[in-house]
Amino acid sequence: MSEFRILSVDDEPDICNLLDEVLTGEGYQVRTAHDSRSAMQVFHDFNPHLVLLDVMLPDENGIEILKKMMAEDNNVKVVMVSAFMDLKIAKEAIKYGAIEYVGKPIQLDNLIEYISGLEKDTLGEEA
């Protein structure tokens, strides 16, 4: 199993479950959260290398969560995920430290390939 840790934050349990199943199947360590409070708790406890963060959560905007995460660990990689491709929000996310902004439905093959590259950059070529 890889040492690469991924936190998936989405208010839709089916999306988190799918990402958990697929990414765990690829050998990654995965945790999920469905709101900002649990996301920050898992973020502290799990210390992820990568966060897949939904823009629209029931209790707080994903951009605000992104800011909090980056303030605590500016080395974490955050990919913002949204059902709405909004250029203004995408620019704001990048401004506050997100490395990517992707739309739903997530293209799993592309995501796995992207994560594999991040893992190698983060953990080294032996990953």
pLDDT digits (tens, 9 = 90+) for 46-96: 999 999 999 999 999 999 999 999 999 999 999 999 998 889 999 999 999
Q: What is the pTM of this model?
A: 0.94
Mean pLDDT for the chain overall: 94
**Strands, E assignment, 1-127:** 5-9, 29-33, 50-54, 77-82, 100-103
Tokens, residue 11 = 């208010």
Average pLDDT on 8-37 reads 96
Average pLDDT on 11-37 reads 96
Q: Domains of the chain: which residue ranges? A: 5-123
Q: What is the dihedral of CA 36, 84, 86, 35, to 10 degrees?
A: 0
Q: Strands across the sheet with 5-9, in order?
A: 29-33, 5-9, 50-54, 77-82, 100-103
Architecture of domain 5-123: 3-Layer(aba) Sandwich (3.40)
As a whole number of Å, the CA-based R_g of the chain is 13
